[in-house]
Amino acid sequence: MSDPIHAGLPARPAPLPPPAALPQALRDAPAPLARAQVDALDRDGVQALGDEVAALPLAERESLANELAGKLDAPQLRKLEPAFGRDTIAEAVERRGGPELREAYAALPREDGPVARFVDGIQRALGLSADDAPVDRADPGQTREVSASVTNPDGGEINDATWTVDDQGRPLHAEGTLRTVFSEIDRSDAETAAQRTAADRGIDGDQGGHLLGHRFVTDQGLKNLFPQNGNFNMGAYKTLENEWAAWIDKGMDVRVSIDLSPREADRPDRVRISYEVLDPADGHRVYDQRVSFDNRAGQSYDRIDTGEMDGLIAAS
């Protein structure tokens, strides 16, 4: 017998926990409840969730996004982009989503803001596209150094980077000092187009991989991109970048040097990386690491855990 009060009425929306408890509630909820809770979020709720997510350590933030990619559908994941950052959600979909979710997420319609539409209109009128953006390159037969500094508007920290490029704009070397993480900055259309261009220089299964992750130097175009095996990019290389971010979260500076070989090739076979962790209080070295990867699937990296980081900082 049906409930005489509720018969014929739509089901009540899932009650939402308070904002401070929502990240853990979404993590613990079975998929149907997690979907219902996300559906119940209004704009203010998404913003409140974003405040709580921003307070999480970077590793926990990414772990939560990964779990949600296994529970939610594509429109719901897009709804959470303002809370996590579009890059974080997109990477979670790439890692944890099946082929259907990845395809559905990639096919979602997206609306550009008025400034982007204005710029796109001008580009079309001039017969240009994002792929026609200027490329940093050296004179024929030469190499060139190109530098950039990116400032965090919240705390004023500055990440400095320098790339060495050849006469076709292909990166040979990158180095930088990383002091902050830009975890909520989305990639521009021009950066996404540059990633496609870099991937097209490679082979099947390649992505446009960043030498220095986008979260550290934001949009830098082709000088910071190379054809990188997708499994390597989203696996071992991502793990190494997470290690850098964890050091930065602990107040350390990370000085990185990256070499691609062979030089002046469309697709490098080898990536050699060295980095050292410096205490900004006095500049002394806390930790250093050197690692080499082949540009193919199956690479691995065993990152240092946060407890060991704390011990090294205390002992230095």
96 is a domain residue: yes
Q: Stretch 212-235: mean pLDDT, rounded?
A: 95
Domain count of the fold of the chain: 2
- With CA atoms as reference, report the closest residue to 284 among 241, 316, 243, 236: 316
Give the angle 96-99-105 at the CA atoms, nearest 5°: 80
Residues 153 and 286 occupy one common structural domain: yes
12 is a domain residue: no
Residues 165 and 309 occupy one common structural domain: yes
Domain edge (last residue) among 83, 107, 131: 107
Interacting residues of 251 by C-beta distance below 8 A, sequence separation 6+? 280
Per residue in 68-91, pLDDT tens?
Answer: 999 999 999 999 988 888 778 887
pLDDT greater than 80 at residue 191: yes
* 175 touches 272 (CB < 8 A): no
76 is a domain residue: yes
pLDDT grade for 15, boundaries at 50, 70 and 90: low
Domain edge (last residue) among 107, 136, 164: 107
DSSP state of 304: P
Supply the range of the domain harboring residue 71. 22-107
Domain edge (last residue) among 89, 107, 125: 107
122 is a domain residue: no
Single-letter code of the amino acid located at 201: R
What is the maximum span of the chain, computed from C-alpha positions, in angstroms?
A: 84
Q: How far is CA 155 from the centre of its chain?
A: 20
Residues 152 and 263 occupy one common structural domain: yes
Residues 148 and 289 occupy one common structural domain: yes
Residues 211 and 92 occupy one common structural domain: no
- 95 in helix, strand or coil? helix
- With CA atoms as reference, report the closest residue to 88 among 13, 180, 183: 183
Residues 99 and 201 occupy one common structural domain: no
123 is a domain residue: no
73 is a domain residue: yes
Cα–Cα distance for residue pair 202/136, rounded to 1 Å: 19
Residue-wise burial string across 146-161, b where 16 or more C-beta atoms lie within 10 A, e elsewhere: bebebeeeeeebebeb
Q: Lowest-confidence range among 137-141, 159-163, 274-278, 280-284? A: 137-141
